[in-house]
Structure 1
Amino acid sequence: MARLSNQEGLANQEGMADWLPGRLAEERPVVTVIGDSILDGWWDGTIERFCREAPAPVVQVQRRDFAPGGAANTAMNLAAMGAEVRFISLIGEDPAGRTLLDQLRSAGVDVSHVVSHPAMTTTTKFRVSSGGQVMLRLDDSATDLPAEGRRHMADAIPEALPGSSAVVLCDYGAGALEGAVREAILENLGPGSEGGQATPAVVRQDILVVVDAHYPGQWADLKPDLATPNAQEAARLLGTELPGGAARCPFVEAHADQLLRASGAGAVVVTLDREGTLTVRPGGTSQEPATHRTWARPQAEKQASGAGDTFVAALTIARAAGLPLTTSVDLAQAAADVVVHRPGTSVCTTDELAKHLRGFADTALTDAELARQVEEHRREGKRIVLTNGCFDVLHRGHTRYLNQAKQLGDVLVVALNSDSSVRKLKGPDRPVNHEADRAAVIAALSCVDHVIVFDTPTPIPLIDLLQPDIYAKGGDYTPEMLQETVAVERYGGTVTILDYVAEHSTTAVLERIRATGDGPQT
């Protein structure tokens, strides 16, 4: 697998690989998290009777677990992925506050800027469950935050920022980021003015600013680099309800300009639960398209909480380390997929994320296995999309093309040319990467559902076997040029030609590497 030797190399990294989380951790970016802290309580027990006073079940508690939530969970995830984390928050001098600080310290988070105030109640959310089902949630929180505590938080901001690569604002509307704290954030991180033009404040230079807020529009004046609203928060920005299900992404994309204006952000990443995410930014180029989609890998429902915090943490560390935004979002989706499959409030560590990505190494299916999978998808009413290629040295043209192919249907199958067939097509020096490595990298993309390696001159035998609803190819072809067109149209399928992405080809990438000597290292 290709390995990169410096941060400049990370700026050109496309696709997921199991070594990437460790490489990001080696960068050890300094990230300051400012926001509302929560202590999540998970109490689990058995139910054998109902109480006499009311028709309510009696939960005999057998296990009590506590975990940092809210901004504290974002800080925990950042630390677990290798960042050096400075945390600024306001908590109470109570048992919940002490538990929160103990767990943050144990995770390696710098809590020297956390303000503890005797008049403050640490927000705690107790979830009572039995048999895998949450029966009740009890919230205990302050109704009026002490102004003195916020002043101390404000004083901590200019102390914590020097040396930071990124700042994450986790504003969940509890009040910690109001008043003096908001003023300090805008003063130190907001746009200033120079010659009548808006410019970043002196302190903000070279600092990535990420806003994760229930009301992201309230931070538009900050001009953040990234805003990460969920569907409900995006709806608030737009002043309208979002449609449900698969219609949400097209709706968000159609309102991209409005989202960017309302948030004031350089890019907006909207998280859409089971529908994955959609990233929008102004303009767009062939190198960095204006929109980028990821797809979640949902499983059976779990009592999971905080996957959004994990997503924001992974996105932040990836961008702070220099990864492209599209690759950073893909990595963040993978990290969220790790924790959403676990009960409770949890974090994604560097090793867990690497193991998750490593799990794609043996994902190439046999013809018979893939045929069974496709038949199951068809029984569920899903549309099958098939595309094929060598995908030797993954680049932005590939990822954009595969994301476009996914959007044509529900399930994307990628047929990968075997090593021997690549040699016949490209010459004796190709492929650069073995078919198992190529399959693993492609399978790790969230838009790809299945990968298969084929060794025939064309994928026609595979087309005949699977009979995909849509056969997709890149824009450097026409249907008339393809031998596969006759096979697809024979059973009533459709051939779709996707956009041609200029200035991106594996041959061009390899020529540049050979000419400069500045490229992937193994």
Structure 2
Amino acid sequence: MKLSMPRFDQAAVLVVGDVMLDRYWHGATNRISPEAPVPVVKVEQIEDRPGGAANVALNVAALGAPAWLVGVTGQDEAADSLAERLHAVGVDARFQRIASQPTIVKLRVMSRHQQLLRLDFEEPFRTDEAALLAEVSTLLDKSKVLVLSDYGKGALKNHQALIQAARARNIPVLADPKGKDFSIYRGASLITPNLGEFEAVVGGCSDEAELVAKGLKLLAELELGALLVTRGEHGMTLLRQGFPALHLPARAREVFDVTGAGDTVISTLASALAAGEELPQAVALANLAAGIVVGKLGTASISAPELRRAVQREQGVGRGVMTLDQLLTALEDARAHGEKVVFTNGCFDILHAGHVAYLEQARALGDRLIVAVNDDASVARLKGPGRPINSVDRRMAVLAGLGAVDWVISFAEATPESLLEKIRPDVLVKGGDYGLDQVVGAEIVIRQGGEVRVLGLVENSSTTGIVEKIRRQQ
């Protein structure tokens, strides 16, 4: 399956559900209490993170998508902490604050990256359903996807009213379900139970065939658009009526903490769909995102650059020979990481010591080096009959094998000016005795805020000289 990085900046997502604060007390454990056989933790750091539906909204914002959040909290310090942290990452949070009830807080005591104890502070909320629906209805007009993040804590009581409000506007509804009654999600575009939640509703599944059969039956009964069952180390399974089951393997290299993994799945899925991705591609992106987040400690999110790099690894476009589309994706990631991009170009017909030294000098001017190579027809026009000696695919393969070179791309025009307009390098490098005003493309790079450098060449090293020497010895 071909994956690409969606444009999340216009992918507005509305999250509605049970918000909570994940609070962490970190400290060293060096002794056992004299009062009871329990470790004593000297608390040295207190950390607050948005949890539940708030973590879903946080994940949406971390991908660069506009995020709204509607939920219920108390009128207390925990709600203030939640609001502050969500606002800091760009989430527009609309809390229904109930003074007589506490904000849900999950307190975890941590030592040496291990969880020793969890304490929950919560009561089921007495949500004002009409007020919540009114708030959601207002925000739906700005949104492309609605997410129901249900933890069974009481914020969501009128599921059907919310689903119907979204469907009336042709807005997809994604639900992360809770409990044994999935009928409350009837008519949703997609629900994302984990395997345990799914089997609690449909019964145990001895193999994938039984899981698929029971899943398709549930789809029909509840009039769902799709069903995504997350299956831990076995990956995830997407079911749709009229389509073969899509089984995706787990992508985690190392599982450190599964806290919030379901939040990452549904947030990535919702953001990708809001950005216009087809459902199978959106699910594959969510699977990649889940593989990243379970390698982190505690309730965590992934950023757009992290996901982009995972997509590049998936497509095999980390380094080497690239198409223009692949290169532009790689460049977007490089710039997101603050990397300086260097560009040079040439025929590189027979690679020699002068080329290697020159490319190493060019690479030293930045963090990434792009080498643009003239295709065979343009080399013939520049160098005359009998050139190139090596075809463009062979020339690019050799260049891609050099440690100094990150990306190689070919071009057919007489000059690389069209490429320079699209690539916008930070540094344009040319070798030889050129003045800056003689370097092709210099004006383009300087206009875009870059610089132009001319590097010397190694003496007595040239492809033309090598070719003439070979001809003389024949």
If the length of structure 1 is used for normalisation, what is the TM-score? 0.58
Kindly provide the CA deviation profile for residues 11-33 of structure 1, in whole angstroms up to 9, marking residues without a partner as x.
xxx5224xx1xx4224x122111
Corresponding residue for 2:224?
Answer: 265
Partner residue of 1:218 out of 176, 182, 192: 182
Cα distance, 1:114 vs. partner?
1.9
Aligned counterparts of 2:188 and 2:121: Cα–Cα separation in 1: 31
Asked if residue 15 in structure 1 is aligned to residue 2 in structure 2, the reply is: yes
Aligned counterparts of 1:296 and 1:164: Cα–Cα separation in 2: 30
Cα distance, 1:337 vs. partner?
1.3
Asked if residue 58 in structure 1 is aligned to residue 40 in structure 2, the reply is: yes
Unpaired stretches in structure 2, ≥5 consecutive residues = 319-324, 327-390, 399-421, 424-474
1:321-336 alignment, distance < 5 Å: 321-336=275-290
Instruction: Determine if contact 1:275/1:296 at 8 Å carries over to the other structure.
Output: yes
Asked if residue 309 in structure 1 is aligned to residue 263 in structure 2, the reply is: yes
Aligned counterparts of 2:70 and 2:29: Cα–Cα separation in 1: 40
Instruction: Determine if contact 2:151/2:177 at 8 Å carries over to the other structure.
Output: yes
SS at match of 1:309: helix
Aligned counterparts of 1:73 and 1:166: Cα–Cα separation in 2: 17
Aligned counterparts of 1:110 and 1:15: Cα–Cα separation in 2: 33
Aligned counterparts of 1:242 and 1:45: Cα–Cα separation in 2: 42
Change (3 A) 1:176 1:184: same
Kindly provide the CA deviation profile for residues 48-92 of structure 1, in whole angstroms up to 9, marking residues without a partner as x.
221122211111122221111111111011111122111110011
Aligned counterparts of 2:21 and 2:268: Cα–Cα separation in 1: 21
SS at match of 2:289: helix
Aligned counterparts of 2:212 and 2:37: Cα–Cα separation in 1: 47
Partner residue of 2:173 out of 190, 193, 209: 209
SS at match of 2:3: coil
Aligned counterparts of 2:392 and 2:229: Cα–Cα separation in 1: 39
Instruction: Determine if contact 1:133/1:303 at 8 Å carries over to the other structure.
Output: no
Aligned counterparts of 2:107 and 2:218: Cα–Cα separation in 1: 34
Identity across the alignment (%) = 31
Change (3 A) 1:101 1:251: same
Partner residue of 1:350 out of 266, 283, 304: 304
Amino acid at match of 1:29: A
Cα distance, 1:222 vs. partner?
3.8
SS at match of 2:280: helix
If the length of structure 2 is used for normalisation, what is the TM-score? 0.64
Q: How many residues align?
A: 333
Asked if residue 74 in structure 1 is aligned to residue 56 in structure 2, the reply is: yes
Asked if residue 127 in structure 1 is aligned to residue 108 in structure 2, the reply is: yes
Instruction: Determine if contact 1:234/1:259 at 8 Å carries over to the other structure.
Output: no
Cα distance, 1:163 vs. partner?
2.7
Instruction: Determine if contact 2:160/2:184 at 8 Å carries over to the other structure.
Output: no
Partner residue of 1:278 out of 237, 254, 259: 237
Aligned-pair RMSD on alpha carbons? 3.2
Instruction: Determine if contact 1:157/1:184 at 8 Å carries over to the other structure.
Output: no
1:180-199 alignment, distance < 5 Å: 181-182=158-159, 184-189=161-166
Instruction: Determine if contact 1:217/1:262 at 8 Å carries over to the other structure.
Output: no
SS at match of 1:330: helix
SS at match of 1:344: coil
Instruction: Determine if contact 1:310/1:336 at 8 Å carries over to the other structure.
Output: yes
Which structure: larger Rg?
2
Instruction: Determine if contact 1:30/1:165 at 8 Å carries over to the other structure.
Output: yes
Corresponding residue for 2:7?
Answer: 24
Aligned counterparts of 1:176 and 1:435: Cα–Cα separation in 2: 58
1:76-475 alignment, distance < 5 Å: 76-111=58-93, 113-143=94-124, 145-147=125-127, 149-178=128-157, 181-182=158-159, 184-189=161-166, 200-201=167-168, 204-205=169-170, 207-215=171-179, 217-219=181-183, 222-238=186-202, 240-243=203-206, 247=207, 249-284=208-243, 290-359=244-313
SS at match of 1:139: strand
Instruction: Determine if contact 2:186/2:222 at 8 Å carries over to the other structure.
Output: no
Aligned counterparts of 2:392 and 2:152: Cα–Cα separation in 1: 55
SS at match of 2:277: coil
Unpaired stretches in structure 1, ≥5 consecutive residues = 1-13, 190-199, 285-289, 365-392, 395-428, 437-520
Instruction: Determine if contact 1:227/1:263 at 8 Å carries over to the other structure.
Output: no
Change (3 A) 1:35 1:216: farther
Amino acid at match of 1:298: A
Amino acid at match of 1:270: V
